Amino acid sequence: MAVIASIHVFINHAFAVGAYPIVTLMEYRGWKKGDGAWDELAYKVTFALFVVTTTLGALTGVGIWFSAALIAPFGIGSLLRVFFWGWFIEWIVFISEVILIMIYFLSWKRMSASGRKRAHIGIGVILSVFSWLTMAIIVGILGFMMGSGRWPETQSLFSAFFNPIYLPQLAFRTAFAMGVAGLCVWFLIFFFTSKGSGLRHGSVRYVSRWMLVWIIPFVAASVWYWKVVPAAMAANIDVALVTQRFTQWHETLAIIMFCAIGALILVAGAGALKPKLLTSILLFVPLLLGLWLLGHFERVREFVRKPYVIADYMYSNGVRVSELPVLQRDGVLTHATYVNNHTVTSGNQIGAGRDVFVVTCSRCHTTTGINSVVTKFRNLYGEQPWDKNAMGAFIHTMHTSRTFMPPFPGNDKEADALVAYLKQLQVDHEFILAAQNSWTVKPAEVTGATGGP
């Protein structure tokens, strides 16, 4: 899901929101100066944008919500209920954007030849606005997931959409999109212009200046955004950047990220002053840095919400905050639909524990794979058989020591069943490891040096 989301956000921000204003301005410049080379360059760049946005952009746009619905169906269902009309409007805007993309590119040559250049540039302006509006609506939903504002009291779409995070995040994403769009257009220019030509140097200088214009808005929006992030979420930054295992490196990574931004500014400055110095490699590296930075931003934005998937409304395991007391009293299995055991007995403890794990833990943890729960408890209690009393106490209080984890939403019997299931996982895992070691053929056995078979 992270790969799909990162690719889609990069295409949306860089190729749609930011790049279409640039190519529209390039087309306008060619028209005003009577320079057909600039118009042809803008057309070729638009061709690349057209292909990427209508194929990979569209597929990842659908894919991100499809994968999110599989991972967190309760969260997506809640967002659909809260933002039904907002999403309805967003789809109308998005479909209009796709239609405008097709009209803008496919009518370029015909409208230019018929002398309707001004009208065609107007289509580019409208397309740029609709591309930004698509992002502006989605940011309302993304901001709601970080801070629901007054929505719990008002239950209104207006309160949900204009949440405390909305305007700062929109300002940040807008400035960021305009900047990384310059990186993409930079890179494309080197494919569509000749080495050492005046067109290459002039267009690189033009795009570099565009990027430099957005530096101050980007810095200001970044500070504004950071100031409105809730304190509890800001405390998760170190884990969000580099995972729990490498939290001691988060300051180093933050410094590297600031240096990367500084390097992008230096390259933009060089492009604005001495475009002849820039080579295709010097522009490809900044493009990768932009994608890397955007990927980290999306990871941090997703993680800092923990223990919530929707701030102050729903935990990351799909349990609503208002439901927690009821589930801790009655048991989470009592109200679960897709489980084999609705109660815990002496004869089904391990099976019920597996059901509890699937319902309450599997949104974030596997048994022995990525983010393995067996590995987590081995790090806590070592290789020896785990103490069930210590495990039970930890499960009930884990959210206090690891603030990015939600409270356990079950009762005492379900906690005991979960412990029994986890202890069985430890036994099974150790058995598998022992079996794998016994299957390993030693070199001495192959050569017969020990007298063995």
Point out the domain boundary residue: 282, 315, 348: 315
Least reliable range by pLDDT among 190-199, 351-360, 411-420: 190-199
What gap in Å lies between CA 327 and CA 414, rounded to an integer?
Answer: 11
**Whether residue 435 is found in the same domain as residue 306:** no
Q: What pLDDT shows up at residue 445?
A: 45
Selection from 146-150, 167-171, 190-194, 233-237 with the highest mean pLDDT: 167-171
Q: What pLDDT shows up at residue 243?
A: 67
Cβ count within 10 A of residue 402:
15
Model confidence over 157-212: pLDDT tens digits? 999 999 999 999 999 999 999 988 988 898 899 889 888 788 989 998 999 999 99
**Whether residue 332 is found in the same domain as residue 248:** no
What's the chain's average pLDDT? 86
In a domain, 449, yes or no: no
Q: What pLDDT shows up at residue 417?
A: 93
pLDDT score of 282 more than 90? no
Question: In the structure, what pLDDT confidence band is assigned to residue 451 with cuts at 50, 70 and 90?
Answer: very low
Q: What pLDDT shows up at residue 450?
A: 40
**Whether residue 94 is found in the same domain as residue 112:** yes
Q: What pLDDT shows up at residue 448?
A: 42
**Whether residue 306 is found in the same domain as residue 330:** no
In a domain, 112, yes or no: yes
pLDDT score of 402 more than 50? yes
Q: Give counts: helices (H), strands (E), the chain.
A: 23, 2
Question: In the structure, what pLDDT confidence band is assigned to residue 3 with cuts at 50, 70 and 90?
Answer: confident
The pTM assigned to this predicted structure is 0.83
Selection from 77-81, 284-288, 298-302 with the highest mean pLDDT: 77-81
Q: What pLDDT shows up at residue 439?
A: 64
Number of domains in the chain: 2
Question: In the structure, what pLDDT confidence band is assigned to residue 144 with cuts at 50, 70 and 90?
Answer: very high
What gap in Å lies between CA 424 and CA 299, rounded to an integer?
Answer: 33
CATH number at residue 420: 1.10.760
Task: Indicate the angle between helix axes 166-192 and 117-146, nearest 10 degrees.
Answer: 140
**Whether residue 8 is found in the same domain as residue 95:** yes
| 296-323 burial: b if 16+ Cβ within 10 Å, else e | bbbbbbbbbbbbbbbbebbbbbbbebee
In a domain, 375, yes or no: yes
- pLDDT top residue among 304 and 164: 164
Residue 293's contacts (CB-CB under 8 Å, 6 or more residues apart) are: 257, 260, 261
Least reliable range by pLDDT among 255-259, 317-321, 419-423: 255-259
- If you write DSSP's letter for every residue of 144-185 in order, what string do you get? HHH--TTHHHH--HHHHHT-TTHHHHHHHHHHHHHHHHHHHH
In a domain, 451, yes or no: no
Mean pLDDT on 383-387: 86
Mean pLDDT on 9-18: 89
**Whether residue 269 is found in the same domain as residue 347:** no
Least reliable range by pLDDT among 33-37, 209-213, 270-274: 270-274
pLDDT score of 444 more than 60? no
**Whether residue 229 is found in the same domain as residue 339:** no
Q: What pLDDT shows up at residue 323?
A: 92
In a domain, 452, yes or no: no
In a domain, 446, yes or no: no
- pLDDT top residue among 268 and 223: 223
What gap in Å lies between CA 63 and CA 1, rounded to an integer?
Answer: 8
Point out the domain boundary residue: 298, 315, 332: 315
**Whether residue 329 is found in the same domain as residue 350:** yes
Range of the domain at 213: 2-315
pLDDT score of 113 more than 80? yes
**Whether residue 289 is found in the same domain as residue 386:** no
Model confidence over 425-436: pLDDT tens digits? 888 777 666 666
In a domain, 450, yes or no: no
**Whether residue 104 is found in the same domain as residue 212:** yes
- If you write DSSP's letter for every residue of 279-325 in order, what string do you get? -HHHHHHHHHHHHHHHHHHHHHHHHTTTTEEETTTEETTS-BGGGHH
Point out the domain boundary residue: 285, 315, 345: 315
Model confidence over 85-112: pLDDT tens digits? 998 998 899 899 999 999 999 999 999 8
**Whether residue 273 is found in the same domain as residue 351:** no
Supply the DSSP symbol for 244. Answer: G
**Whether residue 340 is found in the same domain as residue 257:** no
With beta carbons less than 8 A apart as the criterion, state whether 394 and 380 touch.
yes
In a domain, 445, yes or no: no
Share of the chain above pLDDT 70, in %: 92
